[in-house]
Amino acid sequence: MRRCCQAVGLPCLFKGVAMSGARQPRFLLVFDFDETIVDENSDESVLRGRALPEPLRQSPRGGSYNEHMQRVLAFLGEQGVRPADFRAVYENIPLSPGMAELFQFLSKHQELFELVLISDANVFGIEAKLRAAGALSLFRKIFSNPASFDRRGFLTLGPYHSHKCLECPANMCKRKILTEYLAQRAREDAEFQRVFYVGDGANDFCPAGTLTAADVAFPRKGYPMHRLIQERQEKQPGAFQAEVVPWESAAEVARYLQEMLRRKC
């Protein structure tokens, strides 16, 4: 059962819903990291200004990018790049336009929004950046490739999991992660009225396909996720169910969410 939003000082967020009960409305907000929260690909940020040998200059076509980055990080370790160096790089990656404003908005409404991050980057880099940005505590869960420093001080990387999705890289299917998370939270009696997905890449298109008509996909305008959604809508009208709200600045996401909270019953 749900408590009326007006009872906690907010406009009503639901129509035709029983209002008795103690649970406040909750929304799930899912973020990607590279070129979504931050304005760069963090792997490229780590490599900036560093010369790689020819075999490592291009990621393998049809091969595992995750395994390629394992080799790249091992090479950087051999060249003397150490934990403090990596941390400094990640901390200084710029946030995407408007992302600080979106985080500020979400920090004021933590009772309404549950945040998770699903990224094919790595846990060390993501946590370093979010901590530096003062946003780490906003996230309930971070799903990303495990990364830690070995006894030599080398940053080591692993795959997140295995899966059977034919559309995603072998180390991560974001659809599988999101689906399993929603099932887990349902078992824990968390009831999300809407799911919002903020992303940019082709690997964000797969999980966005699980969204329903009640949900919203926020693809970064002009990036692969946006183009793939447009192609799906053109080829199969109605196949992509969620509302689509492209963004150039994450402040647009904040304004959409703010307007949602302001709607009258």
Q: What are the residue numbers of the active site?
A: 32, 34
**204 labeled part of a ligand binding site:** no
Relative orientation angle of helices 250-262 and 99-107, to the nearest 10 degrees: 30
Q: Rounded to an integer, what distance in angstroms lies between the CA atom of residue 60 and that of residue 57?
A: 9
How many other CB atoms are found less than 10 A from the CB of residue 121?
Answer: 25
Instruction: Check: CB of residue 103 under 8 Å from CB of residue 182.
Output: no
Q: Rounded to an integer, what distance in angstroms lies between the CA atom of residue 184 and that of residue 258?
A: 28
How many other CB atoms are found less than 10 A from the CB of residue 71?
Answer: 14
**189 labeled part of a ligand binding site:** no
**215 labeled part of a ligand binding site:** no
Q: Rounded to an integer, what distance in angstroms lies between the CA atom of residue 248 and that of residue 149?
A: 35
Give residue 195's identity as a one-letter amino acid code.
V
**39 labeled part of a ligand binding site:** no
Annotated binding-site residue numbers: 32, 34, 43, 120, 200
Known binding residues for substrate: 43, 120
- Per the annotation, binding residues for Mg(2+) are 32, 34, 200
